[in-house]
Amino acid sequence: MKVAVVKYNAGNTQSLGFALNRLGVAYTLTDDPHELASADKVIFPGQGEASSAMAYLRHKGLDKVLIGLKQPFLGVCLGMQLMCTYSEENNTDCLGILPGKVRRFDDTLKVPHMGWNTITQLRGPLFEGINEGAYMYFVHSYYVEVTSYTTAVANYGVEVSTALQKDNFYAIQPHPEKSADAGMKFLENFINL
């Protein structure tokens, strides 16, 4: 199986790579459109800032490549946010794969939302074997609103989308590679799709 991890100068690729290695999965870190298109699975990791990340994707032509992929695709953290239509972070138009807007947490909350939080209302194949109310590790200042594509939620002053799915596109806000057993099970479920 060929797993490609999207290289776009934003992303926690090293931790994700260690997690994939623990699962016995070899992967390629790439921004090459042909490698991404020919992979069996694509992971779009995240950590960084929306507008500069989108600028890199557009510069490399990856914005058009990613939205056309047909294989299982997983966006993580910033990767999930960039899959949406628009982000309030520096007024950024995103990929538009998933309907929904990315909002900044209210200033009354401690931002970023950082640490362990429970995830609930779990549905879909990536949550098989993960208990309702499981804990996952979050680090984010922006969140995706709850939509009809939401497959899990968390609460941090407001109910937020923890995970989304539309067709072959999956996304998760917390970092599965840092989320102990629940996170590893989530990644394993994605690899086994």
Query: Where in the sequence numbering do the catalytic residues fall?
Result: 77, 175, 177
Helices within the chain (DSSP H only)? 13-22, 33-38, 50-60, 62-67, 78-82, 180-191
Residues in CB range of 60: below 8 A, 6 or more apart:
8, 31, 33
* H helix intervals, 61-140: 62-67, 78-82
CA distance 100 to 81: 9
